[in-house]
Structure 1
């Protein structure tokens, strides 16, 4: 949950204090991590002056094979998540080809989400949607 969202929800709930369960807290953190990863992966490198390496490179290389392209994207995804999402420790990223939709790129990210009390092992699916050319994290 972003800082602004916490402020607005706190101002709306000034009459009563709501205690969240540990499961709700973990769900909120994972939702926030997914949202941040989507933001990072849908940004293009060089789009911000204060962090010129923020975002993914342009992968419009007509000479690249599917294997070399997927490896380049995996490397770039790993470096961006390592740099800009400190709540995640990546165990593995793998390319999952979809034989029914060759224009859609699917990656599986196995990671540990770092929490205060305990760490949560999770798998996130990163999908480059061919229709809108945006990454989705599910």
Structure 2
């Protein structure tokens, strides 16, 4: 992919501004923004819904956790695998549950990953929130 064009979804969406060809902090912020938009699409897709790539997205955890006692571990592992497999711009190190007593109906995860910035590996933390009512992920 030529530099500066963003993801395929970004290029198809007329509301997303093309990435600039600048360097430094602005370019890094744009790249992280493009990654976050893709992660939101990826994590809200369910495996089997994309005929061209049936493994794209997250599995149905209702089936995946039958017989297991730790749904949160399965969710974190599913997020990690999906990002590692379908977001090549980052290298996932860890996905952690971040408990929040003030929001008991939402699950907060922190994704620790690295990405190349100016020919160096940069640590990036991406926060995810899943609302249990509508089971959609938001990337913060």
TM-score (norm 2): 0.78
Count of residue pairs brought into register by the alignment: 129
Structure 2 CA distance for partners of 1:63 and 1:32, relative to 1, 3 Å: same
TM-fit CA distance, 1:9: 5.7
Note if 1:56 corresponds to 2:66. no
TM-fit CA distance, 1:97: 1.9
Structure 1 equivalent of residue 112 of structure 2: 110
1:30/1:113 contact within 8 Å kept: no
Structure 2 equivalent of residue 46 of structure 1: 48
Structure 1 runs not aligned, ≥5 long: 11-17
1:87/1:115 contact within 8 Å kept: no
Higher mean displacement: 54-63 or 23-32: 54-63
Structure 2 CA distance for partners of 1:50 and 1:98, relative to 1, 3 Å: same
Kindly name which structure, 1 or 2, has the bigger radius of gyration based on alpha carbons.
1
Question: What do you get for the CA RMSD once the two structures are aligned?
Answer: 2.7
2:76/2:95 contact within 8 Å kept: yes
Structure 2 CA distance for partners of 1:94 and 1:102, relative to 1, 3 Å: same
Structure 2 runs not aligned, ≥5 long: 1-5
Q: Runs ≥4 in structure 1, deviation > 4 angstroms?
A: 7-10, 61-65
TM-score (norm 1): 0.79
Q: Which has the higher helix share?
A: 1
TM-fit CA distance, 1:62: 7.7
